[in-house]
Amino acid sequence: MSGPLVLVLNAGSSSLKCGLFEAAPDGGPRLLAGGQVEGLGGAARLALADAGGRALAARSRPAGAAVDHREALATLFALLPGLLGGRPVAIIGHRVVHGGVRFAAPVAVDEAVLAELEALVPLAPLHQPHNLAGIRAARALFPGIPQLACFDTAFHRTQPEEAERFALPERFFALGIRRYGFHGLSYAWIARRLQAEDPALAAGRVVVAHLGNGASLCALQGGVSQGSSMGFTALDGVPMGTRCGQLDPGVVLYMLDQLGMSSAEVARVLYHESGLKGLSGISHDVREIEAAGGPAAERALGHFAYRVRREIGALAAALGGLDGLVFTGGIGEHAAGVRARICAGLEFLGVRLDPAANAAHAPEIGAPDAPVRVLLRRAGEEEMIALHALEWLAGKGDGAILPGGRSAAP
């Protein structure tokens, strides 16, 4: 007998992913069909496939079409009846990037929750509006079906206070100005996979590098977040496709006071014109930068690798050492050259790559005799959302309580 059907929507800054899952005999999620729309804002491409990789649908639009998230959602929803095969959807799980101070666990969405999440849009302007648009569209298409918001920030609420705070007066912390961390759904899935595959490594000190158009790193101790490269917003940390990453706040003040830029102009530069795109002058896409070559490409890739390498060192220091390094995300999983750049110079930590395994994108790419294991794992944000949804259905649980029973309230 088939288990309940879960629809998952994951709206990123430049992509929209979806998945249809059902409960496997072990209670975990089993993928039935999935796909994504890539290149939103430019030459958009949609591809849907079943769990075996058989193509179910494909669409493409030229760069001048500038397909946005709303059109992508409409296209996906138009294809849903054919994917469902007459089966009812039991629950819809959504990735929501920012849960703020209050939401530290998945929560069923109603109008009051939507209003609270809307208030967090300024903290994640590239993502939160699209996350909420997906929720609203799904509520309209599937009235009466539970909509579960699953938060990227929730996983990091276990960070120690010294990792969570900025060196600002206490009143700002009370207002929720703190380091939240992001990509938590990806890190939660990696932590679960490591626990299932290698409990000894999972119990140790692991840095996970989620590298894609959005990029961050997380320090795990025993599968629990101890720190992240991202902070109050998804601008912080390492450079990304179009985002600057860590930046001296004095630069922002200078832009405002001395260059006469408006806050909107500054935001556009930091969110949309910086990162790999700004450094290379070529593209936000590592594949296109590598193909172009030349000094500008070298500058962009070299800086990106340097910043990621530096963050790995910082997080290893926070953990007191390193037992494992995991690469995930689009760049982390597929860009062997970038991985090699990042790991070059980390020998002092015990990181050494096996060049052949790295070139082949093997599940384990570290040298067999190296003290630190280096792994590749597929990002599983949709699977993690589906698992949250199945667990919610099983227990009808809801709320925002941190591990150990600590309240999420400030």
Q: pLDDT tens-digit profile of 160-181? A: 999 999 999 999 999 999 999 9
User: DSSP 3-state assignment of 244?
Assistant: coil
pLDDT at position 142: 86
d(CA 371, CA 352): 8
Quickly state the pLDDT bin for 400 (edges 50, 70, 90): very low
User: Is residue 259 predicted with pLDDT exceeding 70?
Assistant: yes
The tens digit of pLDDT for each residue in 270-293 reads 999 999 999 999 999 999 999 999
Q: What domains are defined for the chain? A: 5-151+382-405 (3.30.420.40), 199-376 (3.30.420.40)
User: Is residue 46 predicted with pLDDT exceeding 60?
Assistant: yes
Q: What percent of the chain has pLDDT over 90?
A: 76
pLDDT at position 64: 62
Quickly state the pLDDT bin for 26 (edges 50, 70, 90): confident
Higher pLDDT, 311 or 63: 311
d(CA 203, CA 223): 6
pLDDT at position 37: 83
Q: Locate all alpha helices (DSSP H) within 34-148, ordered by sequence.
A: 69-84, 111-118, 128-141
Lowest mean pLDDT among 32-41, 231-240, 277-286: 32-41
Give the number of other Cβ atoms within 10 Å of residue 132's Cβ: 20
User: DSSP 3-state assignment of 253?
Assistant: helix
Active site residue 152: yes
pLDDT at position 38: 80
pLDDT at position 40: 74
DSSP 320: T
Concatenate the DSSP letters of all residues of 6-58 into one string. Answer: EEEEEE-SS-EEEEEEEE-TTSSEEEEEEEEEE-TTSS-EEEEEETT--EEEE
User: Is residue 191 predicted with pLDDT exceeding 70?
Assistant: yes
The pair of three-digit structure tokens given for residue 295, joined into one six-digit string = 């000094």
User: Is residue 405 predicted with pLDDT exceeding 60?
Assistant: no
The tens digit of pLDDT for each residue in 102-155 reads 999 999 999 999 999 999 999 999 889 989 988 988 888 888 999 999 999 999
Higher pLDDT, 342 or 17: 342
Please identify which of the residues 26, 50, 110, 152 carries the catalytic annotation. Answer: 152
Greatest mean pLDDT among 26-30, 125-129, 383-387 lies in 383-387
Is the overall model pTM greater than 0.85, yes or no? yes
Quickly state the pLDDT bin for 1 (edges 50, 70, 90): low
User: Is residue 409 predicted with pLDDT exceeding 50?
Assistant: no
Mean of all residue pLDDT scores within the chain:
91
Q: Any residues with CB less than 8 A from the CB of 306 and at least 6 apart, and which?
A: none
The pair of three-digit structure tokens given for residue 129, joined into one six-digit string = 């509006």
pLDDT at position 14: 72
What amino acid occupies position 68? D
User: Is residue 63 predicted with pLDDT exceeding 60?
Assistant: yes
Q: Residue 380's closest CA among 10, 56, 103?
A: 10
The pair of three-digit structure tokens given for residue 346, joined into one six-digit string = 């980390």
User: DSSP 3-state assignment of 386?
Assistant: helix
Q: Residue 328's closest CA among 163, 209, 162?
A: 209
Within the chain, how many helices (H) and strands (E) appear?
Answer: 16, 13
